[in-house]
Structure 1
Amino acid sequence: MKKKNIFFFLLLLVLLYTSGCMKSYKFVPLELPSQVNGSSIAGEIVKDFSLEQPIEITDRLLKNMDSYNQNTPVCVELFMANYNNRKNTGLIKIELTSANKSAVNMLDVSLIQDNKWQGVCFNDFTLKNLSQKPTTLYIKGVNSKVGEAVTVYLRDDSSFKKSILGHESADSLMYRLSTKQIDDMKSIDAKLNIFLLILVMVIFIVLHYQKVLKFKVFIDWLQNDFKSIPIVYMVTAFPLLFILLIYNPPFQSPDEHSHVKKSYMIATGQFDIVTHSGGSSGGYIDTNLHKYILLLRPIHSSREYIENKKNITASKKLYFTNKNIWVQSPGTAYYTPIIYFPQALVMRVSMWLGLSINHTYNLMRIFNIIVIVLIGAIALQILPVGKEFALLILFLPMTLSQTSAAVIDGYLFSLSLLVWALFAYALDRSKDWNLKLSALSWSTLGLLIAVRPSFIIFGVLFLYIELYRKHYRGIPIMISIALLVVLWSSYSISHVVDLRIQRPLDNLELLRNFMNDPSIFINPFFNTITMENFINWYYKPFIGVLGFLDTELPSWLYNSITLFLGITLMIVACKNNTLLYKQKIMIGVVILISAIMIFFLLWLSWTKIDSDIIEGVQGRYFIPIVFGLALVVSGSFFKCQIMNKGLNILFKLIFFIWVCMLYIQLPITLSNKFW
């Protein structure tokens, strides 16, 4: 590929990136939103559904309205649900009326997200009209059918007479009055886009005219191979991860409390899967550890942080009592105890030293950071192809967030990269491949499969290595590891009881039904991957939606990361490698099958029988398999006339900007949420 073609490719990526966010708006509430806690739902908004909600025009609302131009259009935000992201169709009629004005807007239910505020604006209904009492909001179903409709949330409020389906109701609609204004952050996005566009042009000039330019020393440094990527990873990751540790209060990762419970169980020798009559599987944990979790789990925002200051202070004074209480924890019961050994080790040593539970929890997070980053650095050192792309995946906000928490996800990310690195290393026949490396590969893969069965297809890769290398001494190890994995999987499937999802069929019965009729999985699978808000539910959490998947980052950061990942894949594609095309095809097929298996296993174990989509799938589950994309594209698609020196310049600039973005934005996001 010629240099100018490289430039135009980069330019196209930037233009695609900039096109979506040059002008955007945000809703600005005119009053504080209603509290969501304790709310109910109004029922499906199908044809003939009607809801009448009087609008309370308070003195505070009028005072807030005085600060705006009275000709500003009014918007109404409704807190809505779409029934676990099922595929809904139809329209809703929203009407706002006052003493002398009426305005109507239609809402497409297929665009409504679950448990989110949905804004509707009325261009012909201004703040001046709103102040003319009485004001009423009407919601009417147009053509949605049962099972394909959405709903709105209600809250307890008997101050007005409301009507739902013509009947007086004591519940009030969960709504807030707003205006729509240009998003200042989006204006910053546009400026950043222009900056990136200029940066691409500067890169092109540097690459094309580097011999003419006089700053040769700087160019020489940029042109050198990025051989020290593992060192760069550790030097840049450790400070950022410790910043996340400081800014993030305890238990801000999905199911983190369950992982801490499991670590205690392993630390005290509870390796068996135990179930009490009438309940889900679980185990015994220290009474004060249980109290510590209950005190800190409600803290999900700055308001809750302030409200729970007494609980936070009390939690720091708790110590292990050696008195245990039974708790249900089925979510972690399937996972092999081995993956919890690092956290259990810290738990055991802390108990022996007499440390507080709060100190123990923080030490677990610190120990996780150190071990996970070291494993990642070793994997980067071994990986012969695509180090640049792997480095950026390790620096995804989601990867960093999970690495800094007391969960096992960080280990899955780093160990999966190690598996990819060992496989890519083994493909190079010029490198030594011995029994120890084979044993390490199979053992690591076996551990991953015992936690995430979707990794089982990776066994094809290392079986190929045994045949490709004619290194048959590794096959007995493979058989031994496979036997252990089968034994653990059979034991866990037959003993774990999880009553969080009530279904008429157990997993084995559902599997037999699938063998007879594959469409019972295929239909919800295609509904899931083709639903309207696929990006919000899978791609954004893949990059990073922090906390309990409730803290989104600015849109410019998602766009920038997407852009840089695309350019980095192009860089990897331009570099030479020794992989054969049939090997790349095999890797691509393994990635695809593994991704489908993630959906299949969650359909099998977590999705309700009658659900139209597959439930429980989260973007971070795909991070371990994405590392392999670099192997698929490496040297595949581009005949680059641009030299490696130019590619090194491009990636170093990308990585520098990437790290700066994270060091600035992640603390800001967490500060806004908690502090």
Structure 2
Amino acid sequence: MKENKKNRKYIIICLSLWLVFCISLLVSYKEEWTVFINEQHIVYHEGINENGKTKKLNEGDSLIQKFKADYSEMTGIALKMNAESVKKCVVKVKLISEEDNKCIQSWKQDLGEVKNNNYYNFTLKKTLKNTKNNKYIVQIDVLKTEGKAAYINLYNREDGSHTTLLCNNKKMKGVISYQIENGIHIALKKYAFAFFVGTAICFSGMLFGCLKKKKIEKLFVFSAAVIGIMYIFAISPFSVPDESRHFATAYAQSSSITGKQTLDAEGRVIMNSSIWTQGQDPTRDSYIEAVNGMTGHYEKGKNISTIPPLNGPYYFAYIPQVIGLVCARMIGLNPIQIVYAGRISALLIYCLIMYLAIKIMPYKKSMLYVIGMLPMTLQQVMSYSYDSTLIDLSFLMFAILVNQITREEGDIDKKIWVVFVVSMVIVATIKFVYLPMWGLILFVSSGTKRKKIKKYIGCAVGIIMSGGVILLSKIGTIQAAVQTGTAAVDASAEKVSLSYCLQNPKLSIEIVWRTLERMSSDYLEQLVGTSLGRLNISIPVIILVGFVAILFISMLEVKNENIHIPRTVRYWSIFSILIVGGMVLASMFLGWTPIGSNMIQGVQGRYFLPVLPLVGVIYNNKTIVLEKRLDNYLMIICVFLNCYTLYFVILSGVIKEALG
């Protein structure tokens, strides 16, 4: 009877949350998605920067603009003309094939009927196919004008563009801004349907798991895999901080493994141009590119030189992503599929590692579930950032060390020592500031004196090996911190150095204090993930409150659970968090902040993710305890909050200007 009552609660909660989510999705689809689905899909745009020159459209003028197609299909063209104050301006627009001088289609338009300073669309009756590298002419003949003349602003040509503009057979210094269209955003319907199905699978799977009493680690793998894949497609490739540089490094490693050419003569990574989209934010066009690419429709490119890979011994930092890239390239996937294969591989390896971590965690398993499902955690682990490997190892070692601390006295297994030393060395090559957390091994009960000596020897080996790696790989960083130079955030300004801090101790302390005082709330938002992408995808604060609430509850002790954490472990955890936080601030202060700044620049909340589980160890008291376990409720709410986070991420991409 009691069990049936609990099951009914799960069903009611899941269905209620699912209904609320579906209402939001339905309303936004009808009122917002459909508007943008029916907008023209722009596949090319030339003319972004005005050159300050204009040309009036006088009666009898004839303008001819020649351009070369860099796309496979087109359904229309849009020309930017200013007719805000025009009474009448009748123009005839022709699209002509330059190869045979054949008129493809012509349009007659009175610009005065639609007074604007924007693009006028000219839609083709029949889609032009196989247009790549073909040359076309747009001819604008001004037939009749009344009153104030319309005019066009001239724009600079794009780099490498062959576009030219003639007015009455005279070459102009600039071009008309134009856009090439290829249908409407119909693929967004597939995207919306896939999102709906994904969230439905997630809710129904969690409900099934709760009713069948599945273990937390299994529910984590299911929910993280489903929601993580939705994050992969919601947050477009290279929209995570520095992801393009990380991708170039991982791609270079995959090229070496597969025997392909890796770098050009100048040390830049060589890859297919269809892969490389440096600095792309989520937009409706990027979503369409993902749908088309994953279904085999993409613009075939050629090999190009991009950017140099990261300098340093990052041989193990990209293992999760490189596995996916190598497999995808070996089986012959297309360029878009290759990009997503690396992300999916990183996510699946994260799910496997978290399965092991939660399984061996002796208590507070739901805390590790919630931390592992935070939006910022999922964003980083599914990206090409080396944060993926860093977070994997940090969470796994945390669980292993807590497991060892809470067990009966005995020798530490050799396998654990291998994982301990190897993980220390890998983390040292990525970001050594997180190594203090590995010091928890000092508090593992050893029993006999001989076992204690073995423990200290193992610690010494890890410290020596990771210390050597730090000295070899980070010596340039250390030297840069001591010396003066330009700041990363502002190349024109001199950066703060160690000598500057020693000469201005009072000012340095004030800057640190002001940073903590005024930026702590921002760091919390970024830590949870209400500022995703390049911190330019904002999520409502109410979602932040929800995640913080369930995270706090997951850290509470459960009545009659007798797991003893020594006080010294809690003290070391506090020490580790303070040291890690201090080193993060110091590294950004000495390597990123320009002299004259009143706060430390470049610090992001995600930098504190690897040590977040330590907060659960610190919060270990009997003042506030749970009468019973709330794991299933916390997991269901966590899934609900993630679905809403994805909802706002995708919505912001759909309504964002594709080129804005």
Q: Give the TM-score category using the shorter length.
A: 0.5 to 0.7
Q: Which residue pairs with 1:389 in the alignment?
A: 367
2:289 touches 2:298 (CA, 8 Å); kept in 1?
no
Q: How does 1:304-383 map to 2 (within 5 A)?
A: 316-318=298-300, 321=303, 325=305, 327-328=307-308, 332-333=310-311, 336-383=314-361
1:295-352 Cα shifts (integer Å, max 9, x gaps): x63444347878999999999334674xx626256xx435723111332333344444
Change (3 A) 1:549 1:445: same
Is 2:635 the partner of 1:655? yes
Change (3 A) 1:227 1:477: farther
Q: Name the CA distance, whole Å, in 1 between partners of 2:593 and 2:313.
A: 19
2:433 touches 2:584 (CA, 8 Å); kept in 1?
yes
1:292 touches 1:357 (CA, 8 Å); kept in 2?
yes
Change (3 A) 1:254 1:467: same
Q: Which residue pairs with 1:552 in the alignment?
A: 538
Is 2:492 the partner of 1:511? no
Change (3 A) 1:503 1:590: farther
Q: In percent, how many aligned pairs have the same letter?
A: 20
Normalised by the length of structure 2, the TM-score is: 0.58
Q: Partner letter of residue 634 of structure 2?
A: I
1:448-504 Cα shifts (integer Å, max 9, x gaps): 232122213234333454988612441453223332333222266569999844377
Q: Which residue pairs with 1:101 in the alignment?
A: none
Q: Name the CA distance, whole Å, in 1 between partners of 2:271 and 2:644.
A: 39
Q: Name the CA distance, whole Å, in 1 between partners of 2:305 and 2:353.
A: 35
1:538-568 Cα shifts (integer Å, max 9, x gaps): 1111111222211122222112112222222
Q: Which residue pairs with 2:441 in the alignment?
A: 462
Q: How does 1:519-530 map to 2 (within 5 A)?
A: 519=506, 521-530=508-517
- Shifted more, 452-461 versus 595-604: the winner is 452-461
2:515 touches 2:599 (CA, 8 Å); kept in 1?
yes
Q: Name the CA distance, whole Å, in 1 between partners of 2:567 and 2:477.
A: 39
Q: Secondary structure at the match of 1:525?
A: helix
2:488 touches 2:593 (CA, 8 Å); kept in 1?
no
1:540 touches 1:619 (CA, 8 Å); kept in 2?
yes
Which residue, out of 292, 311, 315, partners 2:275? 292
Q: Which residue pairs with 2:567 in the alignment?
A: 581
Alpha-carbon distance, 1:368 to partner:
0.7
Q: How does 1:81-160 map to 2 (within 5 A)?
A: none
The alignment of Structure 1 onto Structure 2 pairs a total of residues equal to 437
1:302 touches 1:674 (CA, 8 Å); kept in 2?
yes
Alpha-carbon distance, 1:633 to partner:
1.5
Is 2:425 the partner of 1:446? yes
Q: How does 1:141-540 map to 2 (within 5 A)?
A: 228-269=215-256, 283-289=267-273, 292-294=275-277, 297-302=279-284, 316-318=298-300, 321=303, 325=305, 327-328=307-308, 332-333=310-311, 336-430=314-408, 433-465=412-444, 470=452, 471-475=455-459, 477-478=461-462, 479-490=464-475, 500-501=488-489, 502=491, 510-514=497-501, 518-519=505-506, 521-531=508-518, 534-535=520-521, 537-540=522-525
> Relative CO higher for 1 or 2, CA cutoff 8 Å, sep ≥ 6?
1
Q: Which residue pairs with 1:160 in the alignment?
A: none
RMSD (CA atoms): 4.1
Q: Name the CA distance, whole Å, in 1 between partners of 2:555 and 2:239.
A: 32
Q: Name the CA distance, whole Å, in 1 between partners of 2:235 and 2:635.
A: 24
Normalised by the length of structure 1, the TM-score is: 0.57
Q: Secondary structure at the match of 1:234?
A: helix
Q: Partner letter of residue 370 of structure 1?
A: L
Change (3 A) 1:463 1:660: same
Q: Name the CA distance, whole Å, in 1 between partners of 2:526 and 2:49.
A: 27
1:423 touches 1:461 (CA, 8 Å); kept in 2?
yes
Q: Name the CA distance, whole Å, in 2 between partners of 1:527 and 1:542.
A: 19
Q: Partner letter of residue 646 of structure 2?
A: L
1:586-610 Cα shifts (integer Å, max 9, x gaps): 2111112211211111112111122
Q: Partner letter of residue 538 of structure 1?
A: Y
2:486 touches 2:492 (CA, 8 Å); kept in 1?
no
Q: Which residue pairs with 1:623 in the alignment?
A: 609
2:405 touches 2:443 (CA, 8 Å); kept in 1?
no
Alpha-carbon distance, 1:367 to partner:
0.5
Alpha-carbon distance, 1:628 to partner:
0.8
1:60-85 Cα shifts (integer Å, max 9, x gaps): xxxxxxxxxxxxxxxxxxxxxxxxxx
Is 2:654 the partner of 1:674? yes
1:367-395 Cα shifts (integer Å, max 9, x gaps): 11110111111111222232221110111
1:138-184 Cα shifts (integer Å, max 9, x gaps): xxxxxxxxxxxxxxxxxx9xxxxxxxxxxxxxxxxxxxxxxxxxxxx
Alpha-carbon distance, 1:404 to partner:
2.7
Q: Partner letter of residue 221 of structure 2?
A: M
Alpha-carbon distance, 1:285 to partner:
1.2
Q: Name the CA distance, whole Å, in 1 between partners of 2:537 and 2:457.
A: 49
Alpha-carbon distance, 1:618 to partner:
0.9
Q: Partner letter of residue 223 of structure 2?
A: T
Change (3 A) 1:371 1:520: farther
2:271 touches 2:305 (CA, 8 Å); kept in 1?
yes
Alpha-carbon distance, 1:530 to partner:
0.8
Q: Which residue pairs with 1:109 in the alignment?
A: none
Change (3 A) 1:307 1:438: closer
Q: Name the CA distance, whole Å, in 2 between partners of 1:275 and 1:336.
A: 16
2:342 touches 2:384 (CA, 8 Å); kept in 1?
yes
Tell me which structure has the larger Cα radius of gyration.
2
1:257-279 Cα shifts (integer Å, max 9, x gaps): 11111112223449xxx9999xx
Q: Secondary structure at the match of 2:406?
A: coil
Q: Name the CA distance, whole Å, in 2 between partners of 1:462 and 1:512.
A: 35
Residue segments in structure 1 that go unaligned for 5+ positions in a row: 1-36, 40-57, 60-155, 157-220
1:565-589 Cα shifts (integer Å, max 9, x gaps): 2222224698432211122112111
Q: Which residue pairs with 1:614 in the alignment?
A: 600
Q: Which residue pairs with 1:12 in the alignment?
A: none
Q: Name the CA distance, whole Å, in 1 between partners of 2:315 and 2:354.
A: 21
Q: Name the CA distance, whole Å, in 2 between partners of 1:311 and 1:378.
A: 34
Q: Partner letter of residue 275 of structure 2?
A: Y
